[in-house]
Structure 1
Amino acid sequence: MSADFWAGYVSGAIGILVGNPLDLIKTRIQAGNAKQEIPSAASGHTQTRYFERWSALARGSAAPILGYGALNALLFMTYNRSLAFLNTGSIASAPEIPPAWSIWTAGALGGLATFFVSAPTELVKCRAQVSIPPSSSAAVLRDLWKRNKLRGLYLGGGITSVRDAVGYGFYFWSYELSKRALTKENETQNYEAMKVLFCGGLAGVVTWASIFPLDVIKTRVQTWDLQSGSLSSSASDATQSLLSSQSRPSDLAMSRPSTFEIARQAYKTEGASIFVRGLGICSLRAFIVNAVQWATYEWMMKVLGTR
């Protein structure tokens, strides 16, 4: 495997470890159940709280640690090859200062290439993060496969692929252009390290700001049958569906509204603010995670002798 593949893999896995607690909060806010009713065995009543226990902050991390490492590896490898091809007609080497349009396009192609990994990884992660009773990634994966086989793993795949193409286009575009703007002669190692951290964090914030409404819709589509307040249920029926897997339809696609309908209903019932809900916590997470990811990627590329 190439150096950019392994550098991408390791940086992606580390990014998930760093960012999963904040990603859990973001997903619950987007799904509409950041505060959930948790049965209390001792009192017989329900308690409203954000998380059942500290270990809940790691919920849903198994799928992205395994999947996002592979996703990041595929992303960076496809981006580098696409960038080289768009500018030189060969995948061997890219120009030192490629034009902005080719950076965005190569990033978008890289995002599209991750679809086969990204769609099931995002689906399992989101459903594990919002499920009640708590479910592991493995349990969510088994349930999806049991009910819909391979098709079940790509629920919401269309909106996921659009989000990834647009988002990763801006991801690489903002990183490379901000690095150029901050580059100066005779950079010290400390300055170079701080530049990578800052530009990586900035790229993460720019990316999520550009696609956040799409991400909200994606989360709603992928967790539609798990949300309290499902479009096809009353409040009591929705709570029952959360607590009993037997009450869910055996086929996830049955009676499911279209992506457009889910977005329209979200706007109708919760207003335009629903499409930016959670953007603050997401931006914080994006800056931290992507600063670490880019620093890890650049360091590994140097270690492997390509920078």
Structure 2
Amino acid sequence: MLPNEGPKERLRDHVPRYAVGLVAGFASGLTKVAVGHGFDTVKTRVQLHPVLKNHSAVHVLMTTIKREGFLALYKGAMAPSVGWAAIDSVLLGSLHTYRLFLLHNGMTEDPTSTGPRLTLLAHGTAGLFAGLTSAPLATPIELLKVRLQLQMQKSVSDRQFKGPIDCAQHIVRSQGVFSLWTGFSGGLFFRANFFYMFLAFEACMRGLSTLKGTPYEPNVGIANLIAGGAASLCFWTMAIPFDRTKNQMMSHPYPQPYPDCSITRPSLVSVARQIYKAEGPSGFYRGLGPCYLRAFPSNACAFFVYEGLLRALGAEQTRR
């Protein structure tokens, strides 16, 4: 190690250039679970629980804590704590790869003397393909999370599924291994909405850059927090109908116990029709309030970690 070598240089030496997006995404996923999983549990119960879905998010939150304790908000967190880190590693790693591909293949603009940068459409396109790329990994992890979050029993011994491994084993024994991908079509439509998240993030970063040289100019880290939080609100506004549909597909046949024999898995169209018939258009937006409460802090922190690590690891720049 050279005498003047700092921590950033040491990090850059030990992480291959092609892997920086994966490393940054992994850390981002862990951050997102730590900050936002409790809100996600409330959202899932508001969307799917036959009694609680008729109440507000605050009522569901207080009822859950009163009946099951605070840690009940983190039911199903073990799967995403490992899985979400892996999902975001694939999502954000492939995002960085798609951005580089589009940057090197001319989907750029050159509005300043700093050199070419990706267009806003290119950022959205990279987000779209990154979302679709992560869907095969995300679907079984989300399925286990949903099933575990809907168990209302306080005692583990009273629950049908004792944890994510037991849940996965039960599903595979009764339905076969491919049943872990129940809701995959809904997941594809849901994850296609990362188009809006990463387009909005870049648009917000560019808007904040116009404050340069003024008393209101934020540093890069603060800008990442603001833009990440704002982009997540845009994402959930567009994605919540597909999230509701996907989650109902994954929870089937809830509220009945998951059976020990084969069942017919519901299709995306049949579930969407069921929701519309029972609840009307507003049914697709059930759970949007908890999404908003969770989205800003968890995604602001996740973007802060992701972008900060990209800079620390010397990733090739796709944003200017």
**TM-score between the two structures when normalised by the length of structure 2:** 0.79
Q: Which residue number corresponds to residue 278 of structure 1?
A: 287
Counterpart residue number, 1:12: 29
Q: Does the residue aligned with 2:117 lie in a helix, a strand or coil?
A: coil
Q: Which residue of 2 aligns with 1:56?
A: 72
Moved more, 9-18 or 267-276: 267-276
Q: Say whether the 8 Å CA contact 2:233–2:296 is kept in structure 1.
A: yes
Shift of 1:70: 1.1
Q: CA deviation at 1:190?
A: 5.3
Partners of 2:204 and 2:152 in 1: CA distance: 42
| Runs (5+) with no aligned partner, structure 2 | 1-15, 54-61, 107-114, 154-158
Aligned residue among 195, 201, 212 for 2:240: 212
Shift of 1:50: 3.1
Aligned equivalent of 2:197, options 166, 171, 174: 171
User: Do the aligned residues in 2 keep the contact of 1:119 with 1:161 (CA within 8 Å)?
Assistant: no
Whichever residue aligns with residue 82 of structure 2, its letter is L
2:224 corresponds, among 168, 192, 196, to 196
Distance 1:297 1:34 in 2: 38
The structure 2 residue matched to 1:180, chosen from 206, 222, 225, is 206
**Structure 1 counterpart of 2:171:** 144
Deviation at 1:164, TM superposition (A): 0.5
Alpha-carbon distance, 1:34 to partner: 6.1
Tell me, yes or no, if the aligned pair for 2:208 and 2:217 is still in contact at 8 Å: no
| 2:176 is the counterpart of 1:159 | no
TM-score (norm 1): 0.82
Letter matched to residue 194 of structure 2: Y
- Partner Cα separation in structure 1 for residue 135 and residue 264 of structure 2: 25
Classify the secondary structure of the residue corresponding to 1:153. helix
* Aligned residue pair count: 274
| 1:95-126 deviation line (CA, Å, top 9, x unaligned) | 75211221111111101110221111111111
Indicate the larger mover: 181-190 or 50-59.
181-190
The corresponding residue for 1:268 is 277
What is the CA–CA distance in structure 2 between the aligned matches of 1:160 and 1:34, rounded to whole Å? Answer: 25
**How big is the alpha-carbon RMSD for the aligned residues of Structure 1 and Structure 2?**
2.5
Q: Which amino acid aligns with 1:10?
A: A
Which structure 1 residue ranges, 5 or more long, are not aligned?
37-47, 228-240
2:119 to 84, 95, 99: 99
Aligned partner letter, 1:212: I
The CA deviation at 1:31 is 1.1
Hey, what's the Cα distance between the residues in 2 that align with 1:9 and 1:169? 20
Q: Which residue of 2 aligns with 1:68?
A: 84
> Are the counterparts in 1 of residues 102 and 118 from structure 2 also a CA contact under 8 Å?
no
Alignment partner of 1:226: what SS?
coil
Matches within 5 A, 1:92-131: 97-131=117-151
- Hey, what's the Cα distance between the residues in 1 that align with 2:103 and 2:306? 23
Question: Is the counterpart of residue 304 in structure 1 residue 313 in structure 2?
Answer: yes
**Contact 1:163–1:215 under 8 Å retained in 2:** yes
Q: Secondary structure at the match of 1:26?
A: helix
Q: Deviations over 1:30-69 (max 9, x none)?
A: 1134639xxxxxxxxxxx9435222211101111111111
Pair 1:258–1:129, CA change in 2 (3 A): same
